A and B are shown apart, each in its own frame.
Chain A
Amino acid sequence: MTDLAWIDAALNSARPQAIGALLRYFRDLDTAEEAFQEASLRALKVWPVKGPPRDPAAWLILVGRNSALDEVRRKARYEAPQSEDLLETLEAPAVDLAERLDDSHYRDDVLRLLFICCQPDLPATQQIALALRIVCGLTVTEIARAFLVSESAMEQRITRAKARIAAAEVPFETPGAAERAERLGTVAAMIYLLFNEGYSATGGTQHVRVPLCEEAIRLSRLLLRLFQSEPEIMGLTALLLLQHARAEARLDGEGDIVLMEDQDRRLWNRNLIAEGLALVDKALRLKRPGPYQLQAAIAATHARAARGEDTDWTEIERLYALLEQVQRSPVVTLNRSVAVAKVSGPAAALAIIEPLADPLAGYFHFFGVKGALLMQLGRPDEARTAFEQAIALANTAAEAAHIRTHLDRLLKDNRPQGGTVSA
């Protein structure tokens, strides 16, 4: 790593903490971002000469705060007395920097920064785009590329989302335990969405968009560093690591989907898996299960099988049944049916998914699973209908192509075939 690369990495990793602290201080997102920007420019000038500070985040907060205060003072000379009030508040003796830089604030600062990106009236994709811009520091160009939209469209989206945040009431007081837990839940859900946006890329030609997955993992790790004893954050991090570990194996050379059972497990990233497994073990010890931990435990069961045929489907079925209890959702039931098919056969699985026809009428995977089960049961005509419905609902070209291989096989021979959809 060169010095400049080091500075870049240091600025990047200090960013959430620094902007979070500056936001608490100035209570205005634009001011906080500008202050951080200003401090970063100073760092690029000063650090190569004087060497990096021991605590880059504290340095950036201090320098950013001073430069923004100068700005407020400059404005105060010309503008309304409102700015004078703000200046007085900011300079009041109670606002002691030592206290402001206290570590105990950091976690709530970062959590708040993530939380304000999750404004409930913003659509999920805007929440994600905002978090990528503000917290992760991705450029608008990078975010636009990840979402496969034009730069100007993304610029507009982010500007609009920021305006909504500025108008909304931002909770600046230090949260109580219940509030903190609620914020954590909201933020975790946003990170999970971000990961899924990268993992099953909707509405595009690409099936996996790695940078989004990597940013989600980065945010999840950040959250876990701040909330080390939260089993659901351990579960979330583990889940993302275990899923992402399979990224290389999910598509073949032609870009076609490879089902988990058929994946070349040598392509699975063993480092990510090892860390994911360690986190699952650690979380389950606490005996406070939740949806992320259970999903992570399911991913862990897959990861522990050396070969597809070694998969402990009984355990996976048990875990899905537990997940159904804490998170009633037809999609979870659909996933459980895949495990049931392995343990008890396709007829039992079909019986489970039949009541889901209504709630999952627009869901690609429902018809994929249904078609595969009907195929196994030797009912090719019904299977074909299901597969055709799946293709119509496919989110990516790879998904459609994958179902088409089933259809081709059906056309070639009508013998019962194996195969499920759970890549």
Chain B
Amino acid sequence: MLYSVLIYDSEAMTTSRSKEEDDELVARHVRVQQKLAAEGKLGPVVRLMPTTAAVTVRQGREAVVIDGPFAETKEQLLGLYVVDCPTLDEAIEAARLIGTACNSRALEVRPIRWYRAGAEGPESQ
């Protein structure tokens, strides 16, 4: 089963990191990714830019483009992992491991319903 592990934290915190701290964070993630890859669980990994770079397309009779993220919340979606785990317990274990790398406030583990990696990539539905 494919699970997404969604990483949430306050953007005010993440954008105030120094370059050294950010480099450290990336190094920790690389180590976690190596571990997950060795276990055959690692899928795509996505790190998102700050929501200040985002626009939101509101669907209606006419689509309206709004500056900023979909929801103004205290915590924002910062990035996500896709992990391939046979059970929810193992997915939660993977999320714990990812959590040690980012030390973020919350990680949401959410099973994936339809996955398509790209035009040439694998697909599971």
Contact, CB under 8 Å: B53 / A13: no
A and B contact pairs by CB, cutoff 8 A, 8 listed: A13-B13, A55-B74, A214-B18, A218-B16, A222-B12, A237-B52, A282-B53, A285-B65
A67 adjacent to chain B (CB < 8 Å): no
Q: Which residue of B lies closest to A13 (CB)?
A: B12
Contact, CB under 8 Å: B67 / A229: yes
Which of the residues B18, B52, B103 comes within 8 Å of A224, measured between beta carbons? B52
What 0/1 readout, one digit per residue, does chain B (30-55) give for beta carbons within 8 Å of chain A? 00000000000000000001111101
Q: Which residue of B lies closest to A277 (CB)?
A: B53
Which residues of chain A from 1 to 39 have any CB-CB distance to chain B below 8 Å in the complex? Answer: 1, 6, 9-10, 12-14, 17
Contact, CB under 8 Å: B50 / A221: yes
Q: Which residue of A lies closest to B103 (CB)?
A: A1
Shortest beta-carbon contacts, A-B, top 10: A228-B68, A13-B12, A1-B103, A229-B67, A278-B53, A224-B52, A13-B13, A228-B67, A13-B16, A221-B15
Known: A218-B15, A279-B52. 7 other contacts (CB 8 A): A1-B21, A14-B12, A17-B12, A214-B19, A221-B50, A229-B67, A275-B53
In the complex the two chains form, what is the Cα distance from A229 to B72 in whole Å?
Answer: 13
Residues of B contacting A332 with CB < 8 Å? none
In the complex the two chains form, what is the Cα distance from A278 to B49 in whole Å?
Answer: 9
Residues of B contacting A318 with CB < 8 Å? none
In the complex the two chains form, what is the Cα distance from A280 to B108 in whole Å?
Answer: 32
Contact, CB under 8 Å: A103 / B53: no
Which of the residues A229, A279, A286 comes within 8 Å of B68, measured between beta carbons? A229
B17 adjacent to chain A (CB < 8 Å): yes
A304 adjacent to chain B (CB < 8 Å): no
In the complex the two chains form, what is the Cα distance from A82 to B121 in whole Å?
Answer: 73
Which residues of chain A from 236 to 263 have any CB-CB distance to chain B below 8 Å in the complex? Answer: 237
Residues of B contacting A222 with CB < 8 Å? 12
Most chain A beta carbons < 10 A, residue from B12, B74, B105: B12
**Interface residue ranges, B against A (CB under 8 Å):** 10-13, 15-19, 21, 25, 49-53, 55, 65-68, 72, 74, 103, 105
Given A225-B11, A275-B50, CB of A282 within 8 Å of CB of B55? yes
In the complex the two chains form, what is the Cα distance from A13 to B17 in whole Å?
Answer: 10
Given A229-B68, A274-B49, A282-B53, CB of A9 within 8 Å of CB of B16? yes
Q: How far is the CB of B65 from chain A (nearest CB, A)?
A: 7
In the complex the two chains form, what is the Cα distance from A1 to B29 in whole Å?
Answer: 12
In the complex the two chains form, what is the Cα distance from A234 to B17 in whole Å?
Answer: 20
Contact, CB under 8 Å: A228 / B13: no
A45 adjacent to chain B (CB < 8 Å): no
Given A1-B103, A229-B68, A282-B67, CB of A10 within 8 Å of CB of B13? yes
Most chain A beta carbons < 10 A, residue from B17, B21, B25, B52: B52
Residues of A contacting B25 with CB < 8 Å? 1
Q: How far is the CB of B27 from chain A (nearest CB, A)?
A: 13
Contact, CB under 8 Å: A103 / B72: yes
Given A54-B74, A282-B67, CB of A225 within 8 Å of CB of B12? yes
Q: Which residue of A lies closest to B26 (CB)?
A: A271
Residues of A contacting B105 with CB < 8 Å? 52
Residues of A contacting B55 with CB < 8 Å? 282, 285
Residues of B contacting A12 with CB < 8 Å? 16
Most chain A beta carbons < 10 A, residue from B15, B16, B50, B55: B16
Residues of B contacting A14 with CB < 8 Å? 12
Given A1-B103, A54-B74, A285-B65, CB of A225 within 8 Å of CB of B13? no
Contact, CB under 8 Å: B67 / A6: no
Residues of A contacting B18 with CB < 8 Å? 214
Q: How far is the CB of B106 from chain A (nearest CB, A)?
A: 10
Q: How far is the CB of B39 from chain A (nearest CB, A)?
A: 24
Residues of A contacting B51 with CB < 8 Å? 225
Residues of A contacting B12 with CB < 8 Å? 13-14, 17, 222, 225
Residues of A contacting B15 with CB < 8 Å? 218, 221
Residues of A contacting B10 with CB < 8 Å? 13
In the complex the two chains form, what is the Cα distance from A6 to B103 in whole Å?
Answer: 8
Residues of A contacting B52 with CB < 8 Å? 221, 224-225, 228, 234, 237, 279
Q: Which residue of A lies closest to B106 (CB)?
A: A54
In the complex the two chains form, what is the Cα distance from A52 to B49 in whole Å?
Answer: 25
In the complex the two chains form, what is the Cα distance from A237 to B15 in whole Å?
Answer: 12
Q: Which residue of A lies closest to B66 (CB)?
A: A229
Q: How far is the CB of A134 from chain B (nearest CB, A)?
A: 16
